[in-house]
Amino acid sequence: MFSVQVDWNYATEQESLIIGLIDKPAKFGGLLAELDQLLDGHLTQLVKSGDISAKKKAISKVHTFGKIGAKRLVFVGLGKENELKFETLKEAFGKVFKTVRANKLQETSVLLNSFVTEELDENDVAYALSEAFALSTYKFEGYKQKSNEPANELEHINVLGGTDEAVINAALSVGYTLGKGTNSARELVNLPGNMLTATDMANYARTLGEKYEFEIEILEKDEMEKLGMGALLAVNQGSVEPPKMIVLKYQGKETWEDVIALVGKGITFDTGGYSLKTKEGIVGMKTDMGGAAAVLGAMEIIGELKPEQNVIAVIPSTDNMVSGNAFKPDDVITSMSGKTIEVLNTDAEGRLVLADAVTYAKHHGADYIVDIATLTGGVIVALGMDTTGAFTNNEELFEQVLEASFEAGEPMWRLPIFEKDKERVRGSKIADLNNSPGRDGHAIMGAAFIGEFAEETPWVHLDIAGTSTSKKDTDLGTAGATGAMTRTLALFVERFEPIKK
């Protein structure tokens, strides 16, 4: 996938050479000066004329006419050096890899040194390069009949220059691992509901667990009944597909302590139940398992990087269907925790399955819980499509998740849960809780409901209803599933520091 050559020269044959261009230099220096000389000063002239642009993410292609080993040069504008950030660099790499891929090249080279700045060293550049390569070249194959023409995919990157081959290779490996884990989450979310049932998701998790030697537990319906998982079972009542409670356990420490639980909503299709969605609103509900996909993608990354942490992934999975057996508004159900719940809205099913999952995570010794779900349309109204909503009962835990989200380039914003919000969730006259107090503060109500089951355990809730999919292509992906927060979860686990009690 990647090869690193610290020592090389411009005579090396290659289809294309990607070069970063910062600002608009009056005169080239270093390797670019050497390259300009080999090309008889034409690069300087092209920069002056504007045919090669240093504007942020501008792509300029130059043919070399056999004067050097590379057949063409691809310049990537990086803008002003003092404004170049890691995330911008990733996007620039993503855009240029898409450009190279569109030219049907299977291999390209990158001049690493040309992207290094005072703020971004070669380790940062290699990390950004490999993550962007994985993310930007992903596509969902779908189910169209395949052409007989051979596919010309960008499959290999030669990284040229730098000073420390071992450091560069390590950074390339980490960045690519993060990108591939995100792509795995994207692939799951993009699958249609009939191709990804709860059983299919459990089988996928089992394969993942076997590959990385995780401890695997898949609870079947009869086992859930014995454990009293009435919330998950209620959501499953209307379905012909059996539910699954999926558990993957990774032990990176000698003793099972400071356990981090990653809990992901795994609703494989959501009709809304008897609180039926509109004909427009029901389309796309195959993506309602985006939280589960993010957790599985993060576990893949964890399996590759092997952090010295203890992690348990818990995924409650079912579809939410309508039938003569389906649960109804006004039903009262009993969760695994023993708390009773008045059902006011069967389309608020995600928080129900998460209630039993959070309780089961605590049953397995979770000391910290991060749950992630495509939970509410309300978070989209509040924060739009580019920012994940976050809620917490513990400042220190939240700060660690927030820091990971910054590093991953996945924006999140904290929303509040006040005592009056908790009172609304506890406002049922006939049960301990109600699952939907109303539309106002909808995202807050969903989070407050889950928080009733986290109780005193440090907990963060991530609502990715807006960020889990995109309607448009970006520099780092295509329209469809984004794999949102997969990298955040993995980096949070990798960097986690236990909270003093």
Please determine, for residue 152, whether its predicted confidence score (pLDDT) is greater than 80.
no
Same domain, 354 and 427: yes
Token code pair at residue 223: 């086992």
Residues tagged in the binding site annotation: 265, 270, 288, 347, 349
Dist. CA 369–CA 392, nearest whole Å: 10
Residue 351 annotated in active site: yes
Lowest mean pLDDT, pick from 31-40, 83-92, 95-104, 314-323: 31-40
Lowest mean pLDDT, pick from 98-107, 148-157, 259-268, 273-282: 148-157
Same domain, 334 and 477: yes
Given the residues 72, 95, 186, 351, the one annotated as active site: 351
pLDDT band of 34, cuts 50, 70, 90? confident
Residue with tokens 């749950």: 371
- Residue 115 domain boundaries: 2-143+152-178
Please determine, for residue 182, whether its predicted confidence score (pLDDT) is greater than 80.
yes
Lowest mean pLDDT, pick from 18-22, 40-44, 109-113, 152-156: 152-156
State the pLDDT at residue 253. 97
Same domain, 289 and 165: no
Same domain, 214 and 284: yes
State the pLDDT at residue 501. 72
Query: For every residue of 65-99, which 3-state class applies, written as one string?
Result: CCCCCEEEEEEEECCCHHHCCHHHHHHHHHHHHHH
Same domain, 174 and 221: no
Same domain, 125 and 27: yes
DSSP 8-state symbol, 194: T
| pLDDT, tens digit (0-9, with 9 covering 90-100), for 43-102 | 889 988 889 999 999 999 999 988 999 999 999 999 999 899 999 999 999 999 999 988
Dist. CA 389–CA 126, nearest whole Å: 30
Please determine, for residue 207, whether its predicted confidence score (pLDDT) is greater than 70.
yes
State the pLDDT at residue 12. 83
What is the average pLDDT score of the chain? 95
Give the H or E element holding residue 190: helix 165-190
Residue 123, domain CATH:
3.40.220.10
Q: Considering the domain boundaries, does residue 77 fall inside one?
A: yes
In sequence order, the 6+-apart residues with CB closer than 8 A to the CB of 195 are none
Same domain, 214 and 301: yes
Q: Considering the domain boundaries, does residue 185 fall inside one?
A: no
Residue 367, domain CATH:
3.40.630.10
Residue 277 annotated in active site: yes
Q: How many CA atoms lie within 13 A of 93 on its CB side?
A: 31
Same domain, 161 and 252: no
Given the residues 55, 61, 139, 277, the one annotated as active site: 277
Dist. CA 287–CA 285, nearest whole Å: 5
More reliable by pLDDT, 358 or 149: 358
Q: How many CA atoms lie within 13 A of 128 on its CB side?
A: 26
Q: Considering the domain boundaries, does residue 7 fall inside one?
A: yes
Give the H or E element holding residue 19: strand 14-21
Q: Considering the domain boundaries, does residue 191 fall inside one?
A: no
Give the H or E element holding residue 14: strand 14-21
| pLDDT, tens digit (0-9, with 9 covering 90-100), for 377-403 | 999 999 999 999 999 999 999 999 999
| Sheet with 59-63, side-by-side order of all strands | 2-5, 156-160, 107-111, 14-21, 70-77, 59-63
Token code pair at residue 316: 């409650």
Same domain, 217 and 117: no
Residues tagged in the binding site annotation for Mn(2+): 265, 270, 288, 347, 349
Same domain, 92 and 225: no
**Mean pLDDT, rounded, for 225-245:** 98
State the pLDDT at residue 44. 87
State the pLDDT at residue 150. 60
Please determine, for residue 290, whether its predicted confidence score (pLDDT) is greater than 60.
yes
DSSP 8-state symbol, 13: -
